[in-house]
Amino acid sequence: MDSSDAQHLSELRIVLMGNRRAGKSSSGNTILGREEFDLKRSAQCVRRHGEVADRHITVIEAPGWWNNYTVEKSPEILKQEIVLSVSLCPPGPHAVLLIIRVDTRFKEGKRKALQDHLDLLSERVWSHTIVLFTHGDSLSDTSIEQHIESEGQDLQRLLDKCGNRFHVLNNLNRSDDTQIKELLEKIEETVAQNNGRHFEIDRKILQEVEERRRAEEERAKERMKRMKKQRENIRSQMSESTYFIMQIFTLSLSSKS
């Protein structure tokens, strides 16, 4: 689709996904043009806003998983955060940016990890997904197309899943406004390809996650209550023991006198 067919949107909602150290926080800062995301890892989603290229932008950064970690190995709370991330910019994101570094080899394990974690959001998410390559400075004189070809079928299979949509960011060159304007235009093209629709997660998936989270919070509260009661019992027992020892000591002194 020609970019001229895409409508200029005054508001864009974006979710950043990817494994740890892929460059999600740096990409969020580059998109918003300032330091909004802490580069230290967070176990929870982070939401930030900004005005960029005549658009109001909402960016959600979902926590990342360890490189090559399967969904089965990832902690339950991480999987919950991935699902909840798309509900933090209601009614839903215009695009999910799947972050991949261009300066590391892309192999089958990485592809499977990326695909399985994104599949938590349902198969439909792929029609709203754009692969965002980070560390674009490392490409040097190599074009992104040449890089994709050199990586082989694993990367191409992933790109096929999201309609061959991709973009490159050089997060070391924030003064280059062109790379962000082009990214926002690609997001608008993606929206146009989806007949003007954003991604909206299945309500049932979201409800299941919310129910599991509530159940875990209740269990955590119960654990805290039990621990508090145990501490009170220990303090009570210690007080009784101290009182008993003092009584013996007092009696001992009395007998000696």
- What is the domain-level CATH number for residue 150? 3.40.50.300
**What mean pLDDT do residues 37-58 have?**
91
Are 143 and 181 part of one and the same domain? yes
Are 196 and 119 part of one and the same domain? yes
* Domain final position from 156, 172, 200: 200
Are 229 and 137 part of one and the same domain? no
**Helix, coil or strand: residue 100:** strand
* Higher-scoring residue by pLDDT: 179, 214: 179
Are 91 and 180 part of one and the same domain? yes
Residue 128 pLDDT: 98
Are 86 and 173 part of one and the same domain? yes
Domain extent at residue 51: 3-200
Are 193 and 212 part of one and the same domain? no
pLDDT band of residue 256 (cuts 50, 70, 90) is: low
* Domain final position from 200, 229, 246: 200
pLDDT band of residue 249 (cuts 50, 70, 90) is: confident
**What mean pLDDT do residues 131-158 have?**
93
Are 146 and 223 part of one and the same domain? no
Are 103 and 185 part of one and the same domain? yes
Is 243 a residue whose pLDDT tops 80?
A: no
The lowest-confidence range among 1-5, 55-59, 211-215 is: 1-5
* Domain final position from 200, 226, 246: 200
**What mean pLDDT do residues 113-119 have?**
94
Q: What is the pLDDT of residues 88-100, one digit of tens each?
A: 999 999 999 999 9
Is 252 a residue whose pLDDT tops 50?
A: yes
Domain count, the chain: 2
pLDDT band of residue 257 (cuts 50, 70, 90) is: low
**What mean pLDDT do residues 142-160 have?**
94
**Helix, coil or strand: residue 90:** coil
Of the candidates 96, 108, 178, which has an alpha carbon nearest to the alpha carbon of residue 136? Answer: 178
pLDDT band of residue 83 (cuts 50, 70, 90) is: very high
Are 111 and 209 part of one and the same domain? no
Are 48 and 101 part of one and the same domain? yes
**What mean pLDDT do residues 51-56 have?**
94
Is 156 a residue whose pLDDT tops 70?
A: yes
The lowest-confidence range among 1-10, 137-146, 188-197 is: 1-10
Bridge partners of 58, per DSSP, are 13, 49
pTM beyond cutoff 0.95: no
The lowest-confidence range among 130-134, 165-169, 190-194, 218-222 is: 218-222
Are 153 and 240 part of one and the same domain? no
Is 1 a residue whose pLDDT tops 60?
A: no
Are 138 and 229 part of one and the same domain? no
- Spatial separation of the C-alpha atoms in residues 61 and 176, rounded to whole Å: 22
Q: What is the pLDDT of residues 164-183, one digit of tens each?
A: 999 999 988 888 889 999 99
